[in-house]
Structure 1
Amino acid sequence: MAISGGQKPAQRPARAQWLDSGNSITQQFMAIGGRADIVSLAGGLPAAELYPVEAIARASERALARWGSVALEYGSVEGLPALRAAIAERISASAGRRFGPENVLLTTGAMQGLDLLGKALIDPGDLIVNQFPTYLGALDAWRPRQPRYERLDWSGEGPGFEAGLRQAKFVYAVPNYSNPTGVLVSQARRAALLDKVLEAGTWLVEDDPYLPLQLDGAAGPSILALHGERHPTGAYDGPVIYLGTLSKSLVPGLRVGWVVAEAGMIATLALAKQSTDISSSMFTQAVALELIESGFEAEHIPRIVAAYRERRDALCAAAAQHLSEWFSWEVPPGGMFVWMRAKSAEIDTNALYACALEEKVAFVPSSVFDPDGRLTDAMRVNFTRSSPEVITEGVRRLERAVQRYLASKAGRAA
């Protein structure tokens, strides 16, 4: 049901190729995270011990008292109206212009927003200009649609800004603490991208799940807000499709996310959602509304930020002691990940991954963040899930894994 057509692929076997190759990596990381014998620095998961269980229990009681059976019913496809209004108010405050409930679609996590965009916009063979390396979940969501990819060049000088944008169905960007690199894109580069998108007349998908996790300094205005500065009045009709979530500021188990866009796009995505799940959970939306309106979410964010800052620093300190001979990295100012790049071409992180599992530690090799799978000289390491002590032990195991890998490689060469 994509909005416009694209080149159709050659006939394939009944079992789609993406099913054979696309789901195993994510499943592996989730399974590894549940094993007590492995230190997993792989998953993009919050710290479970920081989940506000008691606060959510109280919010659940208030939600049921307030909404009664409405919270237990199927709801409107677009989501609980009061929560849509609350999200619209939040976005309006940060973006410098008015957004209404008609600009908000509530989703089952931000991941569903990515999936719905694929269903609504992508035909096989269509082009996506994507920030590179690219979030694995986005690649998973769009793989069934069989798009083509071109790298987003933030400098404004590469082919992703000229040849690519005019043919692209949309641009995909994660300016705040990108997964996997942790990069915070400058305001100047955000503005330059917006200029090019407006010139090309295409959509810009701004994925912003890590906004609450500002560990050092402020992230600055979103691209949606930059557009609002230029067009502060009237009904929103801009090209930016903005995705957010409560998974990082509260808990992922609520599965509450949202898409903010012009009203016509929201209606299109709602049609795609109707055939996907009828509606997201009214109960968790009602609980989320209580946590937002009571001010608890705002109180909780500084607690998790303080813990994550300590864990990031522990990871970088341990890596400086144990991994700096082979890898380089930048300390991310926010988010959940450190992106470590091999200093030598002799390190292939796909092969290193197997040695890491033998040492009972896991990371994510860079190849999964490349649509072509060719990026093999880096790894994503998570710091939010584990305590500083566990992180330090995991880095020690990574050191042994690198030593094992290089020794094995030297032995084969001999």
Structure 2
Amino acid sequence: MTQSPSPRPAFASWLSTGNSITQQFMAIGGRPDVVSLAGGLPASEIYPVEAIAAAQERALTRWGTQILEYGAIEGLPALRAAIAERFSAATGRRFGPENVLLTTGAMQGLDLVGKTLVDPGELILSQFPTYLGALDAWRPRMPRYERLDWSLEAPGQDAALRQAKFVYAVPNYSNPTGVLVPQDQRAALLDKVEAAGTWLLEDDPYLPLQFDGPAGPSLLAHHAQRHPNGAYAGPVIYLGTLSKSLAPGLRVGWVVAEASLIATLALAKQSTDIASSLLTQAIALEMIESNFEAQHIPKIVATYRERRDALCAAATTHLSDWFEWEVPPGGMFVWMRAKDEAIDTDALYTHALAENVAFVPSSVFDPSGALKSAMRVNFTRSPPEVLVEGVLRLERAVRRLLAERPGRAA
């Protein structure tokens, strides 16, 4: 009998861990007895069900069986053109359909960039803490990581920029921290990236969720303004999605980049799924062309702002003895940092589950797993009264944890 070949050892180790952390958080979120502050999920009660159903009917009438077929790898041409026009208007320079690849959510964009640009052992320079989904997407590629310092003053930053296959940045309401990176730091990073000759991956899923004023120009816009003419040829690879502005179940995302890279990413996509759903792309096109998406975003923002404020107010009353945080100006998360070194959020997570509440411990956002002094708390999924109950349960969990520490007052 011929023995089947084994996977690569590091990849086999990754596979052998069983359910991923993301799977665990999704499963917990489905339990009615648990207040889940863990998942990065939108509020399902404001999904535009009727509008999506109407858009689907219009799309099927307009396109017929064409959108029930396998489609072009790059995506529905009319939607690629619409996304290109969106970025042309936002940046003041021309982007064409050749600059757009439609993906099955922005998450697939992360995966394709990893497949295309990174070989085992190569360096990714990433802001820290780092989005868990990005780490999951690139783990099979077995990269190395170094920390991106937005001030660009940390020792070795210039050398790391030259060595990195790409820089990973989430400047708008970063997952997990909720940070909005200042415009001067964005411009300075772009200066360094252009000088180093490396790629700059801008992940921007939270752009629509602006609670306290506009986010300002993207890294892509900064570069486009510097080079306003000719075919776009730049280091910025931009990822976007409709998951936060409409519904994640549509699984419509995009990559915007120079045309040669889009063609390369399309080849990688072909071996992944042949093509994303033309049906959901056609629905998305209808919702963009009818201006429904733009009209729906203010409702989402108002709902999430109220929930953010409710969570932060409850946390000020019940958690501020042990944690500190900034109120995020947008996005979906509050990043709570422990004031007391006795609080290990991996250990706190176990006590939180015993209290039927869940959050995401900071260790999962660290490629080394060493960061154990913070937690990511989501406020978008639950109404204010549920968020308050979740905070009360977190308070009890903290007291349980500290009660285990000899000489520590809870």
Q: TM-score range, shorter-chain basis?
A: over 0.9
Pick aligned residue for 1:73 from 69, 72, 92: 69
1:29 partner amino acid: F
Residue pairs, 1:9-408, within 5 angstroms: 12-13=8-9, 16-21=12-17, 23-159=19-155, 161-408=157-404
2:16 aligns to what SS in structure 1?
A: helix
2:238 aligns to what SS in structure 1?
A: strand
User: What TM-score, normalized to structure 1?
Assistant: 0.96
Q: Unaligned regions of 5+ residues in structure 2, if any?
A: 1-6
- Distance (Å, rounded) in 1 between the aligned partners of 2:155 and 2:285: 43
Q: Unaligned regions of 5+ residues in structure 1, if any?
A: 1-10
1:410 aligns to what SS in structure 2?
A: coil
Give how far 1:125 is off. 0.2
2:334 partner amino acid: V
- Distance (Å, rounded) in 2 between the aligned partners of 1:247 and 1:45: 9
- Distance (Å, rounded) in 1 between the aligned partners of 2:8 and 2:117: 22
- Distance (Å, rounded) in 1 between the aligned partners of 2:238 and 2:48: 27
Superposed CA deviations along residues 149-183 of structure 1, whole A, max 9, x for unmatched, are 00000001114631101000000000000000000
Given the superposition, is the C-alpha separation of residues 249 and 60 from structure 1 closer, same or farther in structure 2, using an over 3 Å criterion? same
1:16 aligns to what SS in structure 2?
A: helix
- Distance (Å, rounded) in 1 between the aligned partners of 2:403 and 2:323: 17
Given the superposition, is the C-alpha separation of residues 206 and 13 from structure 1 closer, same or farther in structure 2, using an over 3 Å criterion? closer
- Distance (Å, rounded) in 2 between the aligned partners of 1:334 and 1:412: 36
- Distance (Å, rounded) in 1 between the aligned partners of 2:191 and 2:66: 44
The answer (yes or no) to whether the contact 1:314–1:391 under 8 Å persists in 2 is yes
1:32 partner amino acid: I
Superposed CA deviations along residues 241-272 of structure 1, whole A, max 9, x for unmatched, are 00000000000000000000000000000000
- Distance (Å, rounded) in 1 between the aligned partners of 2:10 and 2:205: 35
Give how far 1:229 is off. 1.0
Greater shift in the superposed pair: 215-224 or 159-168:
159-168
Give how far 1:22 is off. 7.8
1:68 partner amino acid: G
The answer (yes or no) to whether the contact 1:88–1:99 under 8 Å persists in 2 is yes
1:135 partner amino acid: Y
Given the superposition, is the C-alpha separation of residues 203 and 97 from structure 1 closer, same or farther in structure 2, using an over 3 Å criterion? same
Given the superposition, is the C-alpha separation of residues 202 and 177 from structure 1 closer, same or farther in structure 2, using an over 3 Å criterion? same
Give how far 1:51 is off. 0.3
- Distance (Å, rounded) in 2 between the aligned partners of 1:31 and 1:158: 39
- Distance (Å, rounded) in 2 between the aligned partners of 1:53 and 1:260: 28
- Distance (Å, rounded) in 2 between the aligned partners of 1:15 and 1:312: 38
1:305 partner amino acid: V
1:237 partner amino acid: A
Which residue pairs with 1:8 in the alignment?
none
The answer (yes or no) to whether the contact 1:23–1:140 under 8 Å persists in 2 is no
- Distance (Å, rounded) in 2 between the aligned partners of 1:410 and 1:22: 35
- Distance (Å, rounded) in 2 between the aligned partners of 1:143 and 1:104: 25
Given the superposition, is the C-alpha separation of residues 364 and 160 from structure 1 closer, same or farther in structure 2, using an over 3 Å criterion? farther
1:284 partner amino acid: T
2:40 partner amino acid: G
- Distance (Å, rounded) in 2 between the aligned partners of 1:243 and 1:160: 27
1:206 aligns to what SS in structure 2?
A: strand
Given the superposition, is the C-alpha separation of residues 300 and 239 from structure 1 closer, same or farther in structure 2, using an over 3 Å criterion? same
What is the count of residue pairs matched by the alignment?
Answer: 403
1:409 aligns to what SS in structure 2?
A: coil
The answer (yes or no) to whether the contact 2:402–2:408 under 8 Å persists in 1 is no
